[in-house]
Structure formats: structure tokens, C-alpha cells
Amino acid sequence: MGEERRMEYEIFTSLEEAREKGIEKVREDIYCLWQECFGDTDSYTDFYFQWVVPYNRIFTLYKEDKLCSMLHLNPYTLAVKENEVKADYIVGVATRKEERKKGYMGLLIEKALQWMYEEGKPFTYLMPAAEAIYYPYDFRKVYTLENWGMEMEKAVIKGNSKNTGSRLVKLTASDIDSRRVLTEFTEDILRREYDIYALRSRKYYEKLLAEMNSTKGGIALVLKKDELIGYAAYMQDDGFQIAECIYERSDKEEVLLELYREFSSGLSLSLNDRKADFEPAIMMRIVNLKAFLLSLYSEREISLVIEAKDERIAENNGVFHLVTSKEGSSVDNTEEPPMLRGNISDLTLLFFGKLEEEKKKELITVEEKDSVLAVLSELKIGNRLFLNEIV
């Protein structure tokens, strides 16, 4: 009976593995399941399969020759406190309607987590359709995306609608020089304003423009005296929606007003209606705890003994001695008594700066709670996040 259950399905950790095992039409299968579950247009789905699929890792679950469930890992290079970190963005988690509630999604999540652990990935992240789906797998909300449509309307309500001399230009695929300027402009702002963000390049914006174009949108540059002061990546296949908007803080209202002048006719919802809308958020999870702890940084040498519990990744369980300084970090297994004890979800919230003070104190196992709190205040990996990628 156990053998029969084991053979009921088979999980493949890449498209190549699936093909090697005789699933020759795996790419066509995931294309169909993507459209069935997400309802994207042919244009957007074609963009994803041209620009993203060749570079990502797709986990699939087949029952006989039928694709039942899939999960995509899209690789990004993130700037984390001025260091470069490789992390996978989980997207495309889908199960065929008639195969749901059989635990297939959970099997793929656990398989992907173990694969990322073995690859030494410090953490992973996703944008959930509902937070409750991923909560049991120790993902926790660390970032809510900005509602730039609402910010545009706020700028108008303030009454600052006079012409300030700025102008809007739409980026074209052939404008390589503007992509270079845009890359330098964005990297400079993100480096100053945020701790964690996806590194930008001209290739990044080539892909982003193709993505926005696939939704009948684009990238709008706002210039003042021929100097770039802000931009927005926007979609228009279902009304006007800003995917990302970056500007110098001093130019915020001017950039948003210029965008409003250009696109206000596509704003189908009022400001009050939009308040009740779904708020896109990013959830994160520590994957390889040792790799994650090694990415922490402190101005002075500090030491912390942490006991971790992880029900999904066995290797993360144990007591670890972390030492950090300007020169770097070291992590070793230890038999020392822990100063801090928490499950992997608590540690995720803690080090991304999202754990409440009282909850922090509950994790501390020694009497000198204030001294441990002081150490923790120096160990955040970063709480100023900017992660807006759709796929």
C-alpha cells in the first residue's frame, strides 16, 4: 500500500529532469496550467515564458503523465546592506482545480525549500494571493507594497496641480542611453534609501519594459530640464496600475502629478474605494539559517548564541554561536546555553525588524534581557525593503 501511494505521483525539480524522465511536453503543460490558474493574457504569458522561464527553476508534480501542480523559483540578485545576495522569488504556485486539497502544493514548497537550503540560499520570498496559504510554511509578512495610485490622488488633493515645468517621456526598447541613465538614477536612490532591493541593470530594465509592454503599459520617465527626477513602470491591460515608482523624495509630488496628468483617465477607482482593496505584500522565510546569519553585520564585535527550531528544514534545528564584526561573521554549532530561542518564523521577523518588542523579550532566555535587546538592535539584516517585482 505504501509503495502504491509513493508511485501515485512524481516530483521533478527542473524541466530538464522532467524531460529526462520522459515528460517531453512539460513546457507546454506548465504554459497551459499557468493560463488556467492565473488568467493572464496570452501576451503576458508569452512574455513570462520568453523572458523568465529560460532562467528559472520549475518544480512540477505529475500523476502518471498529467501535470497536477507546479512552483517556480525566479532567481534575483539582491543588494542586502551593500552586499550582493542570491535569493529565489517564489511565483507561479498553482494546482489544477480537480487536484486541489490533496497536499500537492505543500509537497512542492517543502521540496523547493530543501533544494534552496542545499544551494545555500539565505532566504526566499513571495507575494501571496493570501497570507494564510504560506503561514504554515513559516513565511511571514515583512513588506507591504506602496499604493502609488493612491499617492497620485493624494498629490492632486493637496492642490499642487500647477505646471512645474516637468515633462513625461515614454521609454522605448531602442533607447539604450535612457536605460543607462535610468539604471544609474535608480541604483543611486535605492542604495541611499533602502537596505534590501533587487539590483538594477540595463538588462533589468529591458526585461521590465517588455513585461510592462505585454500588459499594454510601459515605463514613463519624468524629466525636469532634461534631468531624470523619477519614473513609473505601469500596466494598462485592466485599467492603469503602477507596478513601481521611484523618485527623489524632494520631487515626489511633481513626479506623481505628472503621472496623474498623463494617466488619470485610466484610474477607474476612487481614492476611498481603493482603500479597501487587497494590499500586495511580500512574505519572507529564512531558508539556510547559517548562510543567513553569515549575512548579518555589526559595527562592533558582538556575540550571540541562538537556538532555532524549524519543522520543515531539519538542518536548521540546533544551537548556533554567531560572532559578527566589521570584518565579517562566523557561525558554529555549539553546546553553549542559548541566549535566544525561537522558531524559524520568529527569527525571520526578528532579523527583518518586524518583531514586536514584547515578542522579542519572550524569545530571550537569559535574565539580562536588555543587553540581548541591545545586541539585536545591531544585527538587523535590514528593515527598509523595496521589492516590487511581479515575477
pLDDT band per the 50, 70, 90 thresholds, residue 89: very high
pLDDT band per the 50, 70, 90 thresholds, residue 289: very high
- Cα dihedral sign, 253-259-261-266: negative
Phi and psi at 355, nearest 5°, equal: -95, 135
**How far is CA 242 from each of CA 95, 166, 212, rounded to the nearest angstrom?**
29, 19, 10
Q: Which of 143-147, 208-212, 365-369 comes out lowest in average pLDDT?
A: 143-147
Which strands sit side by side in the sheet containing 166-170, from one edge to the other? 166-170, 218-224, 227-235, 241-247
Number of C-beta neighbours around residue 323 at 10 A: 15
Strand partners, 71: 59
Residue ending a domain, among 218, 247, 278, is: 278
**What is the extent of the structural domain holding 16?**
2-121
Q: Which of 233, 242, 227, 279 is nearest to 155 (CA)?
A: 242
pTM for the complete prediction? 0.93
Complete DSSP assignment for 47-93? HHHHHTGGGSEEEEEEETTEEEEEEEEEEEEEEETTEEEEEEEEEEE
Strand partners, 72: 58, 91
154 part of a folded domain: yes
CATH of the domain at 179: 3.40.630.30
Q: Does residue 5 carry a pLDDT above 60?
A: no
Q: Which of 326, 321, 293, 286 is nearest to 307 (CA)?
A: 321
Query: What is the overall mean pLDDT for the chain?
Result: 92
Integer Cα distance of 258 and 279 in angstroms: 24
Integer Cα distance of 253 and 232 in angstroms: 13
371 part of a folded domain: yes
Integer Cα distance of 122 and 113 in angstroms: 11
Q: Do 234 and 166 sit in the same domain of this protein?
A: yes
Q: Which of 154, 75, 56 is nearest to 121 (CA)?
A: 75
- Asked if 287 contacts 123 with a C-beta cutoff of 8 angstroms, the reply is yes
Q: Do 32 and 92 sit in the same domain of this protein?
A: yes
7 part of a folded domain: yes
Q: pLDDT at position 132, please?
A: 96
The continuous run of DSSP H or E covering 41 comes out as none
Residue type, 71: L
Span 46-56, mean pLDDT?
98
Q: pLDDT at position 254, please?
A: 92
Span 233-262, mean pLDDT?
93
Q: Do 93 and 45 sit in the same domain of this protein?
A: yes
190 part of a folded domain: yes
Q: pLDDT at position 272, please?
A: 40
CATH of the domain at 294: 3.30.1050.10
- Asked if 11 contacts 108 with a C-beta cutoff of 8 angstroms, the reply is yes
Number of domains composing the chain: 3
Q: pLDDT at position 277, please?
A: 53
Q: Does residue 6 carry a pLDDT above 70?
A: no
Span 225-235, mean pLDDT?
96
Q: pLDDT at position 150, please?
A: 85
Q: Do 169 and 273 sit in the same domain of this protein?
A: yes
Number of C-beta neighbours around residue 335 at 10 A: 8
Residue ending a domain, among 224, 255, 278, is: 278
Span 199-217, mean pLDDT?
97
Residue ending a domain, among 278, 306, 338, is: 278
Burial (CB count <10 Å: 0-12, 13-18, 19+), residue 84: exposed
Residue type, 330: S
Q: Do 236 and 294 sit in the same domain of this protein?
A: no
Q: Encode pLDDT of 126-179 as tens digits.
A: 999 999 999 999 999 999 998 888 888 888 877 655 667 899 999 999 999 999
Q: Which of 324, 282, 285, 329 is nearest to 308 (CA)?
A: 285
- Asked if 115 contacts 13 with a C-beta cutoff of 8 angstroms, the reply is yes
Q: Do 348 and 378 sit in the same domain of this protein?
A: yes
342 part of a folded domain: yes
Q: pLDDT at position 271, please?
A: 41
Q: Encode pLDDT of 322-336 as tens digits.
A: 999 888 899 999 999
Q: Do 168 and 270 sit in the same domain of this protein?
A: yes
Q: Encode pLDDT of 28-40 as tens digits.
A: 999 999 999 999 9
Q: Does residue 7 carry a pLDDT above 70?
A: no
Integer Cα distance of 224 and 148 in angstroms: 20
The more confidently predicted of residues 3 and 343 is 343
Q: Which residues contact 354 (CB under 8 A, 6 or more apart)?
A: 140, 141, 142, 383
Q: Do 153 and 262 sit in the same domain of this protein?
A: yes
pLDDT band per the 50, 70, 90 thresholds, residue 117: very high
Q: pLDDT at position 278, please?
A: 59
